């Protein structure tokens, strides 16, 4: 894993007060509501939370993939020396794939079904680098070998539907890394795969990240997957980061009630046979009408009247560990054994 950054080291990814509102419906949807996120060079940060918490919206905003006519993005996003929101269409096309690249959740939808996978990688390489088609093809072949696709020469000619789910995801990783990006955005890359293939993909991503020195933002709802790959974990709920810190710290000392609930709702080897798995009651709030106070209040077992009236600000507990909760002084309790990886 990456070592901690020095205090004066500028982050490679610097997101400040990011707000993403979808305006195409009857009411505006505040999908992301004031996210601050920093990622150092060579660091892996995992965004975790339930579906609808804003993880994928945040990730796609870093590539400006949301429809411009139906999306309002406010705040600041810098990747290296690039101001992402200020990029012209041409500069944005240069930025995508070369500076920042993405592994999508379902490669069968992300890859073009009417072209061989190898041809798609060749096209991406030639878009960003002045190389011949044969040179780009050799690069694509090398990438297939690197991600351990069997019979890589033959698979370059395969169409996406001719590959298994795990092989398609490896091809998606090869495409994402073909132009040597500095930032890799992984949007739940193992969700659609069976457990054995999930582990293989996670180990491959961790190996490639270390080998290439990539900065990675890894979106997942699986805490176990986050622990496998991440240096730091940021917990999202209702469009905000409610707790953030080193992975080991969040496992050992989670302080937001939502983080505690997520950890306690996991099934692992320590769960006694026949015992009931804890669940989080209720549903996430309506993003078209967010409450005035804490968005988690109606589902929280520790809620007080002040939680419903006041939106919590950031509390720093120690270096690198922050939480948004008015009851943080009451959450310093040991987590049950079911919380640990």
312 plus 289 within the same structural domain: yes
Q: Residue 108 domain-assigned? A: no
**What is the residue range of 302's domain?**
13-99+181-339
256 plus 334 within the same structural domain: yes
Name the percent of the chain lying above pLDDT 70. Answer: 93
Residue 267, pLDDT score: 64
Q: What is the pTM of this model?
A: 0.90
Lowest mean pLDDT among 146-155, 190-199, 287-296, 326-335: 326-335
Confidence of residue 270 (pLDDT cuts 50, 70, 90): low
131 plus 264 within the same structural domain: no
Q: Residue 7 domain-assigned? A: no
Q: Residue 107 domain-assigned? A: no
Residue 333, pLDDT score: 52
144 plus 185 within the same structural domain: no
User: Is residue 3 over pLDDT 50?
Assistant: no
Confidence of residue 170 (pLDDT cuts 50, 70, 90): very high
Residue 341, pLDDT score: 37
What are 111-153's pLDDT values in tens digits? 999 999 999 999 999 999 999 999 999 999 999 999 999 999 9
Structural tokens at position 41: 């060079």
Strands 71-79 and 82-83: antiparallel
Q: Give 338 or 28, the one with higher predicted confidence.
A: 28
Q: Residue 51 domain-assigned? A: yes
209 plus 252 within the same structural domain: yes
User: Is residue 336 over pLDDT 50?
Assistant: no
68 plus 123 within the same structural domain: no
* Number of structural domains found in the chain: 2
Lowest mean pLDDT among 14-18, 27-31, 187-191: 187-191
185 plus 85 within the same structural domain: yes
At 284, which CATH number?
3.40.50.300
331 plus 224 within the same structural domain: yes
Which residues 6+ apart lie within 8 Å of 251 measured at CB? 227, 263, 335, 339, 340, 341
Please compute the mean of the pLDDT values over residues 30-40 and round it to a whole number. Answer: 96
84 plus 231 within the same structural domain: yes
User: Is residue 166 over pLDDT 70?
Assistant: yes
Residue 177, pLDDT score: 96
Q: Residue 278 domain-assigned? A: yes
HEC letters along the chain: CCCCCCCCCCCCEEEEEEEEEECCCCCCEEEEEEEEEEECCCCEEEEECCCCCCHHHHHHHCCCCCCHHHEEEEEEEEECCEEHHHCCHHHHHHHHHHCEEEECCCHHHHCCCCCCHHHHHHHHHHHHCCCCHHHHHHHHHHHHHHCCCCCHHHHCCCCHHHCCHHHHHHHHHHHHHCCCCCEEEEECCCCCCCHHHHHHHHHHHHHHHHHHCCEEEEEECCHHHHHHHCCEEEEEECCEEEEEEEHHHHHHCCCCHHHHHHHHCCCCCCCCCCCCCCCCCCCCCCCCCCCCCCCCHHHCCCCCHHHHHCCCCCEEEECCEEECCCCHHHCCCCCCHHHCC
What are 185-231's pLDDT values in tens digits? 999 988 778 888 888 889 999 999 999 999 999 999 888 888 888 99
190 plus 61 within the same structural domain: yes
The C-alpha atoms of residue 327 and residue 58 are separated, in whole angstroms, by 27
Q: Residue 211 domain-assigned? A: yes
- Among 124, 144, 174, give the residue marking a domain's end: 174
Residue 60, pLDDT score: 96
280 plus 211 within the same structural domain: yes
Structural tokens at position 326: 């008015």
Please compute the mean of the pLDDT values over residues 165-173 and round it to a whole number. Answer: 93
Q: Residue 8 domain-assigned? A: no
- Among 174, 192, 221, give the residue marking a domain's end: 174
User: Is residue 251 over pLDDT 50?
Assistant: yes
Residue 8, pLDDT score: 55
294 plus 164 within the same structural domain: no
Q: Residue 6 domain-assigned? A: no
Mean pLDDT of the chain: 90
- Among 147, 174, 201, give the residue marking a domain's end: 174
Contact of 68 with 23, CB cutoff 8 Å: no
Residue 271, pLDDT score: 55
């Amino acid at each position: 894993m990456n070592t901690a950054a020095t205090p004066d080291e500028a982050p490679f990814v610097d997101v400040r007060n990011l707000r993403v509102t979808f305006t195409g419906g009857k009411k505006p949807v505040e999908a992301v509501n004031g996210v601050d996120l920093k990622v150092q060079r060579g660091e892996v940060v995992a965004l975790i939370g339930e579906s609808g918490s804003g993880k994928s919206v945040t990730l796609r905003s870093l590539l400006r993939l949301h429809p411009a006519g139906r999306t309002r993005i406010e705040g600041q996003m810098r990747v290296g020396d690039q101001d992402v929101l200020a990029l012209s269409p041409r500069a944005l096309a240069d930025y995508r794939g070369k500076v920042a690249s993405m592994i999508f959740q379902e490669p069968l939808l992300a890859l073009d079904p009417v072209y061989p996978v190898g041809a798609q990688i060749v096209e991406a390489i030639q878009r960003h680098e002045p190389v011949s088609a044969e040179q780009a093809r050799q690069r694509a072949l090398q990438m297939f070998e690197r991600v351990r696709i069997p019979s890589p020469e033959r698979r370059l000619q395969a169409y996406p539907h001719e590959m298994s789910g795990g092989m398609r995801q490896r091809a998606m990783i090869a495409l994402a890394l073909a132009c040597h990006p500095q930032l890799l955005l992984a949007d739940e890359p193992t969700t659609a795969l069976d457990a054995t293939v999930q582990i293989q993909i996670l180990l491959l991503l961790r190996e490639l990240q270390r080998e290439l020195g990539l900065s990675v933002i890894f979106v997942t709802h699986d805490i176990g997957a986050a622990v496998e790959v991440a240096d730091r974990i940021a917990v999202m709920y209702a469009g905000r980061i409610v707790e953030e810190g080193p992975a080991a710290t969040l496992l050992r000392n989670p302080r937001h009630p939502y983080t505690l609930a997520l950890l306690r709702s996991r099934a692992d080897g320590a769960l006694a046979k026949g015992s009931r798995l804890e669940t989080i009651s209720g549903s996430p709030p309506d993003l078209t009408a967010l409450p005035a106070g804490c968005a988690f209040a109606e589902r929280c077992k520790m809620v007080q009247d002040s939680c419903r009236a006041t939106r919590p600000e950031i509390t720093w507990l120690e270096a690198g560990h922050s939480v948004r909760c008015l009851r943080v002084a009451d959450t310093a309790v040991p987590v049950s054994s079911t919380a640990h990886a």
